[in-house]
Structure formats: structure tokens, C-alpha cells
């Protein structure tokens, strides 16, 4: 199977490299692309990169995106978002607002070249580290603190599954374990506060039932401790009537924080998560 990559597509109204995305399409017969695929209606995996709200780029994850597309026969979209620090300061929820702008763009407009290839109702959001916080701020109900992250109903309804690895969910809990993270990246991303309970997504209620969740965490993670995933998993299980909607996998991956994404366990788990839901 070949993977066609469309790079540096614009999703915002301004021409900003940090507000562009790459789109990957699995193609069995490249000679038929694109005309022979316009009614394929493929599911979409949307991978949002981590990097402590301050680093990384969509291009860093090309191999991961291609492998996910190959294993699931789904399209894969990888957006950038604005990073902190910058001048003037860029604080939460701006990074997540970019992700929501991208999701809305992809649903309503998409890339003109392939807009009929992918489904608008079978989406899987995949986040790592800080992007787990951003995605959950959109999927869960953060209206009490960040109403700008409320997705249109059509976007929310498209999301069938959410998969996180090495996620950051509770900023106060993170700083209690790693106090230096305040100066390193939390103050740049959220501003200096006495406490961060308002942006703890491990307290947000559901926007709607029906979404499936997969939370993974390596016990060898040297940057984010498994307590983050334990807290988020317990919260998700509490707010879901269907306990089977939430899968918590602590200790399955065995790599360091960023190396988790390169491991076979991660690729197999995320691919199986998507394919199992697709078969339902």
C-alpha cells in the first residue's frame, strides 16, 4: 500500500506555518488517485503532536502518520498549532483553539483536492503528552472555564474515539511532582497562577456520551508520571455510565516519554483501537 502525503495545507485564514497541516491517504492503486477514490469515505485519524506546548512540528511525525494510515487504512491528518513562548504571550486556550479551528476546517472545508475521500462521521483523535490536554479540553465540557473550546455539534458528533499516550491532564498534580516544570513550560503555556485547578481536565464533565477512550502510559516515562493517567482514567470512568467506554493501559508501553510513539506496542494498540470501533 502506498501513502500519498499532502503537505503544508492551510487551515487558518492567515498564512502561518504553525497553522498548517499534513494529510496522509492510503492508496491501494496510486494510478487511480484522486479520481478513483472520491467516494471512498475513509475514516480519519487526527494526530496532534506534543512538545510541552513549546516545541515539535507535524513533520516530526511523518513516519508515525504513514504507519497508522497503512495499518488502519484510514486517512491521517497531522496539524500544527501555535507554540509558546512567543510575543505577545500565547497562553491556554490559544493552542487548543487552533486545534479546534483545524477540526472545524477539516469537517467543513477540508482539502479541495481530496474532500470527498474521507468521512465526516468517523474520526479518531490521537494525542500525546500536552496534546492530550488540548484535545480533552475540546471533547470534554470545558465551557465553565474555556467556552471558546466548545466544538460545533457536527464536529463533536464526528468523534468516535480518543486515544492518548503519556498525557498531561492535571497541571497542579504535575507541578507537585515536577516543580521545575513551572519555569520550564507551564508559565509560558498557561501564565503564572497560584493554582491551575480551572484548567485541570481531569475534572471536566462529558459533553456527550458515546465516545470511546484509550489512555496509555509507560512506567518508564521520565517526563510525565503515570499518576496523570491514573487520575484522568479514574475521572473518565466516573463520568461514563458505560465502563467499557474507557480503557486504561498503564505499563503496556515500555519506552521513554517520546520513544513510546516509535514502539510497536503503541502502533499496534492505537491501530487496534481504531479498527475495533470501525468493526462495530
What domains appear along the chain, each with residue ranges and CATH number?
Answer: 2-279 (3.40.50.1820)
d(CA 179, CA 166): 18
The secondary structure element, H or E, covering residue 174 is: helix 171-177
Q: Which long-range contacts (C-beta less than 8 Å, at least 24 apart) are formed by 138-144?
A: 138/96, 138/99, 138/100, 138/103, 139/207, 139/211, 140/201, 140/204, 140/205, 140/206, 140/207, 141/204, 141/205, 141/206, 141/207, 142/93, 142/201, 142/204
Greater confidence (116 vs 150) lies with 150
C-alpha dihedral sign at 82, 190, 77, 120: negative
What pLDDT is recorded for position 112?
63
pLDDT reading at 33 higher than 50: no
Alpha carbons within 13 A on the beta-carbon side of 221: 25
- Residues above pLDDT 70, as percent of the chain: 94
Residue 206 is classified by DSSP as B
What are the tens digits of pLDDT across the range 67-108?
999 999 999 999 999 999 999 999 999 999 999 999 999 999
What pLDDT is recorded for position 111?
66
pTM score, two decimals? 0.95
Q: Please give the grid coordinates belonging to residue 82.
A: 501555535
Q: In the structure, what pLDDT confidence band is assigned to residue 39 with cuts at 50, 70 and 90?
A: very low
What are the tens digits of pLDDT across the range 153-204?
999 999 999 999 999 999 999 999 999 999 999 999 999 999 999 999 999 9
Average pLDDT, integer, range 55-74: 98
Amino acid at each position: 500500500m502506498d501513502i500519498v502525503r499532502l503537505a503544508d495545507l492551510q487551515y487558518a485564514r492567515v498564512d502561518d506555518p504553525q497553522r498548517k497541516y499534513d494529510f496522509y491517504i492510503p492508496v491501494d492503486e496510486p494510478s487511480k488517485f484522486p479520481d478513483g477514490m472520491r467516494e471512498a469515505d475513509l475514516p480519519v485519524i487526527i494526530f496532534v503532536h506534543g512538545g510541552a506546548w513549546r516545541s515539535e512540528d507535524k513533520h516530526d511525525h511523518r513516519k508515525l502518520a504513514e504507519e497508522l494510515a497503512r495499518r488502519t487504512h484510514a486517512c491521517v491528518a497531522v496539524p500544527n498549532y501555535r507554540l509558546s513562548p512567543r510575543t505577545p504571550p500565547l497562553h491556554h486556550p490559544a493552542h487548543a483553539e487552533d486545534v479546534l479551528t483545524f477540526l472545524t476546517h477539516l469537517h467543513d472545508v477540508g482539502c479541495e483536492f481530496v474532500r470527498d475521500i474521507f468521512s465526516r462521521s468517523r474520526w479518531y483523535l490521537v494525542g500525546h503528552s500536552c496534546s492530550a490536554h488540548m484535545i480533552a479540553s475540546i471533547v470534554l465540557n470545558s465551557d465553565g472555564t474555556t467556552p471558546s473550546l466548545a466544538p460545533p455539534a457536527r464536529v463533536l458528533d464526528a468523534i468516535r474515539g480518543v486515544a492518548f499516550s503519556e498525557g498531561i491532564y492535571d497541571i497542579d498534580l504535575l507541578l507537585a511532582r515536577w516543580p521545575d516544570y513551572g519555569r520550564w513550560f507551564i508559565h509560558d503555556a498557561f501564565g503564572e497562577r497560584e493554582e491551575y485547578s480551572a484548567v485541570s481536565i481531569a475534572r471536566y464533565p462529558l459533553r456527550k456520551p458515546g465516545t470511546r477512550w484509550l489512555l496509555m502510559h509507560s512506567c518508564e516515562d521520565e517526563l510525565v508520571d503515570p499518576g496523570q493517567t491514573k487520575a484522568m482514567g479514574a475521572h473518565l470512568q466516573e463520568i461514563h455510565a458505560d465502563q467499557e467506554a474507557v480503557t486504561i493501559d498503564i505499563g503496556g508501553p515500555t519506552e521513554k516519554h517520546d520513544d513510546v510513539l516509535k514502539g510497536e506496542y503503541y502502533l499496534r494498540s492505537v491501530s487496534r483501537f481504531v479498527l475495533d470501533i470501525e468493526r462495530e
